[in-house]
Structure formats: structure tokens, C-alpha cells
Amino acid sequence: MVITALAAQKGFASEAQFSRLFNYYKDHTISENIPLMMWKQHETSKGWISVDKNNATDGDLDIAYALILAQRLWPNSEYHYGKAAEAILNAIKKYNYNPETGLLTVGNWATSNEKQNKLLRPSDIIPTYFNTFSKFTNDIFWTQLEKRSAWAISELSDQHASGLIPDFAWVKGNQITPVKPREISGKYDGDYSYNAARIPLRLADSKDKKVEKALNKMLNFFQKQPIIRGGYTLTGKKLVDNQSASYSAPILYATNNQKNYTGLYASQRWVFEHPLNGKDYYGDSLKTMVLFKLY
């Protein structure tokens, strides 16, 4: 939905196209009273069916942001995108937030679990979203969340010379530690891997000094690498040999118009030299989003 809204800003998509995605979202909310989207669907003979009644916080953050963009684009729409965005944001506060940590949880299923509600997915930290939500709702909650989230990013950044931040981390009071391998979903849970790949994109454009420092530290690490690989340990060792648009596209965006990273920016433009092939939805999505944000 974010991509379609960004495309519409530039005249490459219509409200009719966006509204189809909006209706798909509405067809797959957890319930009438919980307007968070169930995280995964699969196709059956009866249509697309959700696998369970759990949401993923990052997805609903994107949906809410897309709806705010849509409200600005089509303020008189019959779909009342702004009202829908407010409903999602209120639900995120209720079902995807832990007041004990002061941070977002990874989903409603985690919030209700005494251990999992301490789990943080750092790529859910999107300062520009939080700032937008604060201005849109006049709710200080989002300003406070942005400040607390900047602390989390700074703490994780300071733990390693590389400045790399993991896919997942545990938060206990004012202590934050990367999770162990296979503790959540796979052997790279505590590494700069599939989820963390989005972090340079998520942190870009933030005006928070702690966030800027953490992002620059990460970019300094990448600038020293001959080739950006598809994942690293937090100490800076490559996890794989291949390049990946999922990792390079966010770095490309984060280095845009930054005079200290012109070489890194140029090296990551390779992502636009290859057409979308439909076989890598994650990488293709990030590449397309970056394209519309850059040009």
C-alpha cells in the first residue's frame, strides 16, 4: 500500500488501484473491533484465507502510513482513509505496545505473552512514521515512542564497532540485548539479517541526533566493504557471499544526497540495473519503494 500511495503521488497509480488494496486489508482484519491486519494469507478454492488471527506490527505501521498518504491525496474519498488510519494507530497502541518497555512489540500475539512482549524487532522503529503519526493525531504517545525508540537504536548501535543492529533483541528495563540464534525464527535471529536489512531505510530522514549517529556508524561500516553482502554478524562477518537488493536498496536510499557516502551510493545503484523478476517479493518491494522515494 505504501508503494501504491507513493506511486500515486507521482501519477503512476490511481485511487481505484489503492482502494483495491484497502479493501483487501479490510477483508483480512483480525476482527471488526480490532482493525489490525492478519499477517499472512494463502490461496484456497474459496479465495484468500488468513492463516491465523495474529498481526505483524511492521505491516500495520506501513498500512497506517499509507492511509495517511492516501488521505492527503484523496481527502474527499468515500473510503475515509484518515479515519481508518486513526483506527489502526489506536489498535497498535492497544495491542502492539508494551508500556513496561516503552516500545512496540512484534505483534498482538507477543503483547499478550509475558516473555515475548519484551521482544523488539528494531526494523519496526521508523522515526519518520512516528513523527507523521504524532502530527496526524496530535497524540503525544507517538512523540514519546519516537524518543524511546531512538534510545533503543542508540544502545544497540553502541554494542559493536560495526554499528550493525540485529533482527531481534530483548528489552529488560534499560538493558537491550540481541537474541540468540534460533531463539525466534532462524539461525540469523541475532544478526543483521532479513528483517534488519530494512533498518537504513527505516532510519533515513530522521532528525533525531541519536538516530543519525547510529545510521552513520552503520553506513561507515558498509562504506568499508568491497561488496555489500546479504547479511552480516554484528561483528561484521558476512553471512553469505551473494549480493541482495533487500540489503542494497535500503542502503542506497539512506546514502542519497549525503556527501560523505557518494561512493557507497554509487555502488548500490546496481539494484536498478536489474528488472523485477517476480521471484523476490521482499527485495522487489524494497527496491520499488526506494525508487519512488528517490525519484
Please name which of 188, 160, 190, 154 lies closest in space to residue 174, comparing C-alpha atoms: 154
Q: What angle, rounded to 10 degrees, do the helices at 127-137 and 81-95 form?
A: 120
139 is catalytic: no
Cα distance between residue 101 and residue 228, in whole Å: 33
Q: What is the residue whose three cell numbers read 511492521? A: 58
DSSP state of 42: E
Cα distance between residue 100 and residue 86, in whole Å: 23
The answer to whether the beta carbons of residues 257 and 265 sit under 8 Å apart is no
Please name which of 142, 165, 141 lies closest in space to residue 152, comparing C-alpha atoms: 165
Cα distance between residue 270 and residue 256, in whole Å: 14
Where does residue 283 rank: exposed (0-12), middle (13-18), buried (19+ CB within 10 A)?
Answer: buried
Helix (H) or strand (E) holding 182: none
Q: How distant is the alpha carbon of residue 77 from its chain centre? A: 27
The answer to whether the beta carbons of residues 251 and 289 sit under 8 Å apart is no
The answer to whether the beta carbons of residues 58 and 66 sit under 8 Å apart is no
Q: How distant is the alpha carbon of residue 134 from its chain centre? A: 17
Of the residues 58, 60, 189, 191, only one is catalytic, namely 58
> Could you give the residue numbers annotated as active site?
58
